[in-house]
Amino acid sequence: MTSPSELPLSRYKVLDLTIARAGPTAVRLLADWGADVVRIDPPAPQDRGSVTGRRRGSDEQNLHRNKRSLCLDLKSPQGAQVLRRLIARSDVVVENFRAEVKERLGLGYEQLRQLNPRIILASISGFGQDGPYSERPGVDQIVQGMSGLSSVTGEPGRGPLRTGIAISDTTAGMFLGQGILLALLHREHTGEGQWVHTSLIEGMLNKLDFQAARYTVDHEVSQQQGNGHPTIVPMGTYRSRDGHVNIAPATSRMWGNFCEALGAHALKDDPRYLEPASRQSHREQIDADINAVTAQFDSAELVARLNRAGVPCGPIFDIGQAFEDPQVQHLRMTRPARHPLLGELQLIRSPINLSSCPHPEHFHHAGPDPGEQTDELLHELGYGPAEVAALREAGVAE
């Protein structure tokens, strides 16, 4: 069984100063692959609660597993001194403060370099570190709209629609995690730290991918297509006798195989559907004709027949069905984390698979209560029992 010390990031120390979802998503990537992550939580009087819920909820447990927590008042002189000791021993500091708050707390990159020349500062924001919107609060819902994502999501004529997940938060978090890994590789060669940053808006504009390139290259503004693919026809959601399935006969060969597998010979021979361009120009009619065929079959039969014929086809599950699916069960997308009060929690593992570093059989820490490791971490920083007691008495640490 792989232990945390055998994971590829086990030699790195990470200081987590983030809130909400995007920053913790980046830190989770590092924590899951072995980094020693210390999360700074505010003392109770300053804790305004997290937008993701209290620490013992499923969301925060999934975000903050494999971390240790120190409750610290960063605004006090004593708290600032503890923070400086943490920075001096860290490889990476991850934060999502506004620029003025960063400077006030001594967390600007130039300030950090004075304490630790090899430090990597990783920052995440809604709209970037400078520019006209840099001081705006940025949350997933707002960025889904401003990036154009909502304008291409949903059915034509029914108005913009958000996706069902916090996609701009998690996208930006994953990109920041990748940026941190790039900076660590760069430091291996040069010995130099650097400032890595991204934002929700940058992440989502990149995530638009081919839809964005349709505008930047072809000057074409994409529109909503509902469950249909914007540029490939046919591909989408179709009726079955007992519900719906997704089918993607994207190439001419697949289209022919689709028609053969379901006995739809009239569709295969229809001159309107012989070429990709013609299928594209008859999108509404071909979708209607496919629905007339697929509605004669149960979903399971469509999935079996079409996949045997080399045509991508899959059921439409709710989240519970997705996790109970045999392939997902085989992949073991969860691992247990033992919480002292909540018991064994099944949390979502990293989707990255490394042949030399198999996933540990369990997470080594459940999400900590705020300050759960305060004494332990202060002792590691060189504070004696009397000093720790004094910090607690002053309300600097909890």
Summarize pLDDT for 282-336 with one digit per residue, the tens: 999 999 999 999 999 999 999 999 999 999 999 999 999 999 999 999 999 999 9
The predicted-structure confidence for 31-75, as pLDDT tens digits, reads as follows: 999 999 999 999 876 654 454 557 899 999 999 999 999 999 999
Check whether residue 87 and residue 113 sit in a common domain: yes
pLDDT of residue 48: 47
Confidence of residue 347 (pLDDT cuts 50, 70, 90): very high
* Mean of pLDDT values over 251-278: 97
Within a domain: 347: yes
Check whether residue 164 and residue 23 sit in a common domain: yes
Within a domain: 193: yes
Angle at 343 between CA 340 and CA 347, to 5 degrees: 110
pLDDT of residue 136: 95
Averaged pLDDT score across all residues of the chain: 96
Query: pTM of the predicted model, to two decimals?
Result: 0.95
* Mean of pLDDT values over 185-191: 97
pLDDT of residue 75: 94
CATH number at residue 268: 3.30.1540.10
Confidence of residue 236 (pLDDT cuts 50, 70, 90): very high
Check whether residue 110 and residue 182 sit in a common domain: yes
User: Read out DSSP for 167-223?
Assistant: HHHHHHHHHHHHHHHHHHHHHHHH----EEEEEHHHHHHHHTTHHHHHHHTT-----
Q: Bridge partners of 347?
A: 335
Report the number of distinct structural domains present in the chain: 2
* Mean of pLDDT values over 242-246: 98
Within a domain: 225: no
pLDDT of residue 71: 96
pLDDT of residue 378: 98
Please write down the long-range contacts of 287-293, taking CB distance under 8 Å and 24 or more positions apart.
Answer: 287/228, 287/233, 287/234, 287/236, 287/238, 290/234, 290/238, 290/247, 291/238, 291/239, 293/262, 293/264, 293/267
Question: Angle 22-32/167-190 helices, nearest 10 degrees?
Answer: 50
Within a domain: 231: no
pLDDT of residue 3: 79
Check whether residue 251 and residue 355 sit in a common domain: no
Structure tokens at 96: 């999502």
Within a domain: 198: yes
Within a domain: 215: no
Give the whole-angstrom CA distance, residue 144 versus residue 201: 8
pLDDT over 80 at 271, yes or no: yes
Is 130 catalytic? The answer is no
* Mean of pLDDT values over 157-176: 98
CATH number at residue 111: 3.40.50.10540
The predicted-structure confidence for 81-129, as pLDDT tens digits, reads as follows: 999 999 999 999 999 999 889 999 999 999 999 999 999 999 999 999 9
Range of the domain at 262: 236-316
Q: Bridge partners of 305?
A: none
Check whether residue 159 and residue 293 sit in a common domain: no
Torsion over CA: 185, 128, 161, 290 (sign): negative
Within a domain: 94: yes
Confidence of residue 194 (pLDDT cuts 50, 70, 90): very high
Give the whole-angstrom CA distance, residue 338 versus residue 30: 20
Count other Cβ atoms within 10 Å, centred on residue 246.
16
Check whether residue 300 and residue 361 sit in a common domain: no
Side chain identity at residue 278, one-letter code: S
Check whether residue 134 and residue 283 sit in a common domain: no
Give the whole-angstrom CA distance, residue 12 versus residue 27: 12
Share of the chain above pLDDT 70, in %: 97
Domain boundary among 292, 316, 340: 316
Structure tokens at 287: 């979708």
Pairing of strands 236-240, 243-247: antiparallel
Catalytic residue of the set 36, 41, 73, 169: 169
